[in-house]
Structure 1
Amino acid sequence: MGDKPYTSIPIEECGEPLAPLPPTFLRLEPHPYQSLGAPYGTASPFYLRAGVIAALERAQAFLKPYGWQLAIFDAYRPIAVQQFMVAHTFATLCREGGHDPQQLEPAIANQIWQQVYQFWAVPSLDPQKPPPHSTGAAVDLTLADAEGCPLDMGGAIDEISERSFPDFYDRHPKQTNAACFARRRQILYQAMSSAGFQRHPNEWWHFSLGDQLWAWQIRQQTGQQNISARYGRIAL
């Protein structure tokens, strides 16, 4: 598959360390990728760059009047985990389509890979093209109520379908509970954007701050072509 458009953005690594998410944030556990056997080694999926955690705290504060909180699904992701999950997603889509992953016609395989990479980043080892989660600058999350029960957002995190697109329910207002789901997604977006995050174009749950995708989106929105990423790949 070809490179994502954001991988052309230069990285000016600031050297900020990864840090564990503080206990003030709700974690959705058991962690789904760890449960599948993803190879984290000594790394934790609940780490982010220190500056990203500070921004996440501001987003959390935005939600206080609603009585809601952020619920963290996934954050830091080693390249090996990215590769594991991309392969897992490909195999899952093959099974769902009634295909044997080992005996696929090239055209069908290409079609499935396009589905995978519409949502998942390429697990590149090129230090100039890191997957967003491997920089410690990207986080997958949702909303939860004051008791820690996740809210229904109209689609599951990592769902490979049109329902994952942030504006799906705005475009399909006749869907069941469309207005509710659209409002919740919009409030999540407002909370995160108020703290400086950018949302993934295809995923209502994915937000980043300081990585290549973040910088690319700001360039697209503002026309400022001097914006660079400040977080590159980091390994534990």
Structure 2
Amino acid sequence: MKNLLFLCFLCCAGVLRAQEMPTNKYGLAVVEKEADYMRMVKADTNMLMVNLSHFIPSIAKDIRYATKHNFTKQVLYQHTAIYLRLPAAKALRTVQQELAQHGLGLLIYDAYRPYSVTEKMWEIVPDDRYAADPKKGSGHNRGTAVDLTLIDLKTKKPLPMPTDFDDFSEKAHQDYILQDSTIAKNRALLRNVMEKNGFKGLSTEWWHFYLPNQAQFPLMNIDFRPTK
């Protein structure tokens, strides 16, 4: 199987081009080399991975997987840089701009995630209710999914939400009936502003949003390090 080739279609000037990519043990094509990534970006600038801290300087972050304060209880990231594909980054910048008009902003918990981290998560918690199955890959591996919440720009504190990040109870579901009207309003505001700008929410996680048609972006296993 490892000698099989997968046709990864890229769009350049409206013309589909095929690039041969080796597949992994699950039959998935995963971009492992920076040279391959750069060729994709040259063919289609939408493939560019953008450092959100530079692209949206006002954005805040709390990268839990760079600490042990996450569901795996292990440090999975060696740095806290946050990246997304260019279309997702542009949409998120618009969200941030809209929220700022109301004294609010975004706090990022996770964005692009190398495929190897998804494999590690699955080793620790092999349950697709809580972790992405590496046989399928994740929107995070494609740079099109983001985990986030709202903060008050003055206090820099997160607004009250139904649960903490990575809470896998029913209370974290988007349709969970909340008794606290303020929390319900905050959850609805986050979902509405994200959906207004092209994202879709995950029904079981109030914090998780992704761009539709994300399969057009290949799975990645490149560790994008923070840049100055």
- TM-score, reference length from structure 2: 0.68
| CA distance 1:235–1:83, shift in 2 (3 Å) | closer
Q: 1:38 to 1:78 in 2, by over 3 A?
A: farther
The alpha-carbon deviation at position 64 of structure 1 amounts to 2.5
Deviations 1:15-66 (A, max 9, x none): 41212112221111xx32122354446x765111112111001111221232
Deviation at 1:154, TM superposition (A): 1.7
Q: In the alignment, what sits opposite 2:61? A: 27
Aligned residues: 173
Question: Could you say which residue in structure 1 is the equivalent of 2:197?
Answer: 195
Cα distance in 2 between the residues matched to 1:186 and 1:156: 16
1:184: which partner in 2? Answer: 186
Paired with 1:165 and 1:156, the residues of 2 have a C-alpha distance of 12
- Aligned twin of 1:73: 109
> How far apart are the structure 2 equivalents of 1:229 and 1:57?
22
Indicate the residue corresponding to 1:229 in structure 2.
Answer: 215
The code of the aligned residue for 1:17 comes to L
User: What is the alpha-carbon root mean square deviation over aligned residues?
Assistant: 2.3
| 1:70-219 correspondence to structure 2 within 5 Å | 70-88=106-124, 90=125, 116-124=127-135, 129-146=136-153, 147-168=155-176, 171=177, 173=178, 175=179, 177=180, 179-209=181-211, 214-215=212-213
Counterpart of 2:148, as a letter, is L
Q: Which amino acid aligns with 2:94?
A: R
CA deviation after TM superposition for structure 1 residue 69, in Å: 0.4
CA distance in 2, matches of 1:198, 1:231: 16
Aligned to 2:84: 48
Flag structure 2 segments of 5+ consecutive residues without an equivalent: 1-6, 12-39, 41-46, 69-73, 223-228
Hey, which of these two has a bigger chunk of helix by percent? 1
Cα distance in 1 for residues equivalent to 2:67 and 2:157: 20
- Tell me the SS of whatever aligns to 1:118: coil
Name the CA distance, whole Å, in 2 between partners of 1:131 and 1:234: 10
The letter for the 2-side match of 1:118 is: R
Deviation at 1:201, TM superposition (A): 1.8
Using CA pairs under 8 Å that are at least 6 residues apart, name the structure with larger relative contact order, 1 or 2: 1
TM-score normalised according to structure 1 size: 0.66
The 4+ residue runs of structure 1 with deviation greater than 6 A are none
